[in-house]
Amino acid sequence: MVKMNKFTNKEDIPTKNGFGEGLLEAGKKNNNILVLGADITGSVGANLFADEFPERFFSLGIAEENCIGVAAGMAMNNKIPVFATYGVFSAMRTTDFIRVSVCYNNLHVVIGGAHAGISVGPDGATHQALEDIAVMRVLPNMTVLSPCDSTQTKLATIAAIEKVNGPVYVRFGRAPVPNFTSQTMGYEVGKAQVLMEGNDVTIIATGHLVWESLQAARQLSNNGIYAKVINVHTIKPLDHEIILNAARQTGAIVTAEEHQKTGGLGSAVAEFIVQNYPVPMEFIGMPDCFGESGEPPELMDKYGMKSRHIVEAAKNVIKKK
């Protein structure tokens, strides 16, 4: 029996599904798209492309650094390579190769970082990518995308392939999550989206924490506190205009991400805010520690990344205004 989400009235879907659907759709339109795997195909959504275009799919085994080198060579020969595996491997095991072979040459290589965040669950600390945003966003020429649900992940993947010229990192997860956006909302790299309006506090979220932020905003409204919720699906380049306007309007910001509090979305927002319009901030994210094995909802709750934690942070930051 399919379990329906009581708020969306739709089935929860892993964001990796959207990545696979985006690959397939883009692949149907462009024969120059090639996909590389590192002994992991179905669990990152690449099986849809591999089944449809086996002649354009290459599994290179557990050799992630080699995959990046091969992808760079393909990009230098007018192909559009997409490499996907778990984020702990695609973003961090390969960092030196991405930096020198891909970013230094500003090559159009799309890197999929699957199983991102602590919601990977039972796989445990070694497989929970909680530092990948920090690593990827510091690299020159790199674009960093962090869509919020399966539908948006599909759009982000297509945009990474069709709309960006240089290196792109697309972050997505494994656990089923609410699929609450629509394709009609569109997707523009570098342009965040206001999902709820409010004047008391701004909640700036990315990835799976966007849904939790919407739930938090609804809970806050029951207490007469009205939050603006912004979905930052592009962490680099960051949408400075929408953040500046929100800071001026509400005077307080909470950032929310399934990532270490340092180096990710919160740090990117703080870097901009402190130089342009300083306001009080609170940060929701992993509290400078490794994760552990467990069910995704339990881990999200234990490490302070559920809607109730965002509500508490919002109330605290409003007191600082």
pLDDT digits (tens, 9 = 90+) for 82-140: 999 999 999 999 999 999 999 999 999 999 999 999 999 999 999 999 999 999 999 99
Which tokens is 300 given?
């999200």
pLDDT band at 10 (very low <50, low <70, confident <90, very high): confident
Cα–chain-centroid distance for residue 151?
Answer: 13
pLDDT band at 5 (very low <50, low <70, confident <90, very high): confident
Percent of the chain with pLDDT over 90: 96
Average pLDDT of the residues in 162-175: 97
CA 178 to CA 237: how far, in whole Å?
Answer: 26
Full 3-state SS string of 85-154: EEHHHHHHHCHHHHHHHHHCCCCCCEEEEECECHHHHHHCHHHCECCHHHHHHCCCCCEEECCCCHHHHH
The pTM assigned to this predicted structure is 0.96
Q: Pick from 8, 51, 62, 4: which is nearest to 27 by CA?
A: 51
- Burial class, 304, CB count within 10 angstroms (exposed 0-12 / middle 13-18 / buried 19+): middle
The size of the chain, in residues, is 321
**Which secondary structure element, helix H or strand E, spans residue 285, and what is its range?**
strand 281-286
* ∠ CA 274-116-301, rounded to 5°: 80
pLDDT band at 2 (very low <50, low <70, confident <90, very high): very low
Residue with tokens 């991102």: 116
pLDDT band at 288 (very low <50, low <70, confident <90, very high): very high
- Chain segment 23-70, per-residue pLDDT in tens: 999 999 999 999 999 999 999 999 999 999 999 999 999 999 999 999
Under a CB-based contact definition with an 8 Å cutoff, are residues 98 and 139 in contact? yes
CA 281 to CA 247: how far, in whole Å?
Answer: 10
Average pLDDT, the chain: 96
> What is the DSSP pairing of strand 176-177 with strand 193-196?
unpaired
**Which secondary structure element, helix H or strand E, spans residue 220, and what is its range?**
helix 209-221
> Which residues 6+ apart lie within 8 Å of 308 measured at CB?
216, 219
Q: In the chain, where does the domain assigned CATH 3.40.50.970 lie?
A: 13-177
Under a CB-based contact definition with an 8 Å cutoff, are residues 152 and 187 in contact? yes
Q: In the chain, where does the domain assigned CATH 3.40.50.920 lie?
A: 193-319
The neighbouring-strand residues paired with 168 are 110, 143
Under a CB-based contact definition with an 8 Å cutoff, are residues 213 and 255 in contact? no
Fold held by 193-319: Rossmann fold (3.40.50)
Determine whether domain 13-177 maps to CATH 1.10.760.10. no
